[in-house]
Amino acid sequence: MKQLYCSLFGHDYTVTKNVTYHVKEYTCKHCKEQVTTNGNGKLTLLTPKYKEINTVLERIHNNRLKKKNIPVIDLSESPLFRIAK
């Protein structure tokens, strides 16, 4: 039933994880499908390959922020990052 809703009305993605300022992970509220942004900025399914890439990107991003003494801000709870497809 949940997939039927998404096939008729489209997914309702919310940000579940901010990897970097530009790369985020999203989850559909209805069918729990997980997607992420790829190198071109488009949404792609979150496969184990992309999970690993996002983990490495997040670690590198946080290390660079620590070197520059910039605080790490978690914006995943902010309503501004809600995307409806």
**pLDDT tens digits for 59-76?**
999 898 888 876 666 665
Quote the pLDDT of residue 50.
Answer: 94
Order of all β-strands in the sheet with 43-45: 43-45, 34-37, 24-28, 12-18, 82-84
Number of structural domains in the chain: 1
CA–CA dist 9, 82 (Å, integer)? 16
**What would the pLDDT profile of 21-49 be if each residue is shown by its tens digit?**
899 999 999 899 999 999 898 999 999 99
Planar angle of CA 65, 67, 68, nearest 5 degrees: 65
Domain around 32: 2-84
